Amino acid sequence: MKNTTKKIYRKSALTFLVCLVAILFLFPMVLTVSNSFMTEKEIEQNYSSLSPTYLSGSEDETDKYVNLKLIPDEVVLKQYYTVLVKRLQFLLMFWNSVILTVPVILGQIIIASMAAYAFGKLKFRGREQLFFIYIITMLMPFQVTLVPNYIVADKLGLVGNYLSIILPGIFGTFGVFLLRQFMVYIPDEYCEAVRVDGGSHLDIFFRIILPMSKTGIASLAILVFIDNWNMVEQPLIFLQDVAKQPLSIYLSVVNSGEMGIAFAASTLYMIPMLLVFLYGENYLVEGIQLSGIKG
């Protein structure tokens, strides 16, 4: 009975801790959505302590704290109308994000799956050493490669072009590492059966490897989408033309204006990521679990 009671208490404490952490992570998202439906006046009242006049000390410091309200006094949609209809810059930058993100996802899936097949199923001299170099490259901070990428893009005349961001994104090393974890443990007997039937490497790749790696490919697509949808450094460095910059850059600009518009834009910005995550949650969890176990 004592052991059973201890297990129940331990499980309850762990559940409470997990729920608390989940609430802490979800709170900024919920706060952003709720504030996006508030009037500009209500938002200014809630965040008056963050205003420049208050920080400079020109206002009476009667309230030193931000009022974090989750329920608006009055629900309005004016901010969304302004962002989606009056200010076309938001939609322009939204499609810029799509143009930058979708080719990277498709290209990285194609390149990474073929490279992972080579590392996982083909035997050639120096395979392990080359894959070790891939891992070292993957562990490098992204900022380390920005300068070499800029130099190469400048030599090719791609600075200011979408390709200066798309091409380095397509040849990322993380996708190779992730998919290789799946392919290396696919039984070789399946591949041998295709060879016995006279199949080539292309037959093995398309008939055996890709169908059995669909979970890993789905996980890779989700992770690459989230990573590139939130890109900031690359467009700031490679795309000087504001008309070509993605939506992630627009958020840093809109925050300097009306806070209601900023909350509405942030909420709309989150929607694609939430939809992708909710739709592919099972693939993502299963893919990460399998890659961790097989690694």
Domain match, 126 and 198 both: yes
- Any domain includes 63: no
User: 44: which 2 tokens?
Assistant: 């200014």
Domain match, 12 and 123 both: no
Residue 162: its pLDDT value, please?
93
Q: At what angle do helices 174-183 and 214-229 cross, to 10 degrees?
A: 170
Domain match, 165 and 268 both: yes
Residue 294: its pLDDT value, please?
43
Alpha-carbon Rg for the chain, nearest whole angstrom, is: 25
Cα 245 to chain centroid distance, Å, stands at 17
* Residue 235: half-sphere exposure toward Cβ, Cα within 13 Å: 23
Cα separation, 73 vs 92, in Å, equals 32
Cα separation, 213 vs 33, in Å, equals 36
Residue 64: its pLDDT value, please?
64
Cα separation, 288 vs 189, in Å, equals 25
Domain match, 131 and 205 both: yes
Residue 2: its pLDDT value, please?
61
- Any domain includes 246: yes
Helix (H) or strand (E) holding 215: helix 214-229
- Any domain includes 276: yes
Domain match, 116 and 243 both: yes
Question: pLDDT tens, 203-220?
Answer: 888 888 888 888 888 889
Q: In angstroms, what CA-CA distances link 268 with 84, 230, 250, 274?
A: 9, 13, 12, 10
Question: pLDDT tens, 152-206?
Answer: 999 999 998 999 999 999 988 888 988 888 888 888 888 888 888 887 888 888 8
- Any domain includes 75: no
Residue 182: partners with Cβ closer than 8 Å, 6 or more residues away: 116, 120, 212, 213, 215, 216, 290, 291, 294
Number of domains in the chain: 2
Domain match, 50 and 148 both: no
Domain match, 52 and 112 both: no
Cα separation, 257 vs 44, in Å, equals 12
Asked if 259 contacts 43 with a C-beta cutoff of 8 angstroms, the reply is: yes
Residue 273: its pLDDT value, please?
87
User: What predicted TM-score, i.e. pTM, was given to this entire model?
Assistant: 0.81
Domain match, 42 and 152 both: no
Q: What is the pLDDT along the chain (295 residues), one digit of tens a residue?
A: 666 777 888 888 888 898 999 888 888 888 888 888 888 888 887 776 655 544 445 445 545 666 777 788 888 888 888 888 887 888 888 999 999 999 999 999 999 999 999 988 888 888 888 888 888 888 887 778 888 889 999 999 999 899 999 999 998 888 898 888 888 888 888 888 888 888 788 888 888 888 888 888 888 999 899 889 988 888 988 988 888 889 888 887 776 567 888 888 888 988 988 888 888 777 777 766 665 544 4
Domain match, 142 and 218 both: yes
Q: Which of 37, 113, 26, 47 has the alpha carbon at shortest distance from 75?
A: 37
- 149-181 burial: b if 16+ Cβ within 10 Å, else e: bbeebeeeebbebbbbbbbbbbebbbbbbbbbb
Residue 114: its pLDDT value, please?
92
Residue 55: its pLDDT value, please?
45
- Any domain includes 71: no
Domain match, 50 and 119 both: no
- Any domain includes 262: yes
* Structural domain for 26, as ranges: 2-57
User: 51: which 2 tokens?
Assistant: 């205003």
Domain match, 41 and 120 both: no
Burial class (CB in 10 A: 0-12, 13-18, 19+), 275: exposed
What is the CATH number for 272? Answer: 1.10.3720.10
Cα 170 to chain centroid distance, Å, stands at 15
Domain match, 136 and 10 both: no
Residue 104: its pLDDT value, please?
95
User: 283: which 2 tokens?
Assistant: 């693939």
